[in-house]
Structures are given as structure tokens and as C-alpha cells.
Amino acid sequence: MISLLLCLFFIFYYSYFKEELYIDGDEIKNVCDARRVFVVDDIRDFTAPLSLLIISPFIFFSLKKSTRCGYLTLITLFLFCLWFWRFFGRFLWCS
């Protein structure tokens, strides 16, 4: 359980950028607007592999133990989906 919380912490910590604070719903409606309006140093090309490297021991452990614990497979799938969404998915439709 603690390893899951640590993985979630690293995913959210490394995928956050400070311009998300300016999303107010009026002028800045979403992440795409915040990224377009403000000059953002996009460091996701560094932080995405770094966070994946940090959470990889948990992923390896859960895949190794998935034959005995089915819920670990679901947690691993959830972590991969969350990792993809936080780093890449929410920016897919930005122009």
C-alpha cells in the first residue's frame, strides 16, 4: 500500500507544472490554454522517463506476484494509465 502511494506521489509530482494554477475557467479554461498562453518550459521529456524509472520496481514486483494476487494486475494497469494520462494524454488534443 505504501509503495502504491509513493508511486502516485511521484507520478503527480513529476507531471505537475506550475501554470496549472492559473486555470480559472474564464480566460484559461484548461491545460491546453495554460500551456499555450504562458511560456512553459516543458520538461516532460525528462520527468516522464524519470518517474517511470522510479515506479518500475513496484511494477516489476506486481507483475511478478500477479499470479497470486489479481488485484496487483489492476493496480499496475491503473498506474500505467495514470502515468500516460498525466504526462501525455491530457495534452493530446492541444493544438
In contact, 16 and 44? CB cutoff 8 Å: no
Instruction: Look at residue 84 in the predicted model and tell me its pLDDT.
Output: 92
Q: Total domain count for the chain?
A: 1
Residues 6 or more apart whose CB falls under 8 angstroms from that of 90 comprise 31
pLDDT digits (tens, 9 = 90+) for 43-59: 778 888 888 888 888 87
- The whole-number pLDDT of residue 82 equals 92
What mean pLDDT do residues 1-5 have? 80
- Predicted confidence at residue 67, as pLDDT, reads 65
Assess whether pLDDT exceeds 80 at residue 90.
yes
11 has pLDDT over 80: yes
pTM above 0.85, yes or no: no
Domain limits for position 49: 2-91
Q: What percent of the chain has pLDDT over 70?
A: 95
Q: Are 59 and 66 in contact (CB under 8 A)?
A: no
pLDDT at 66: 62
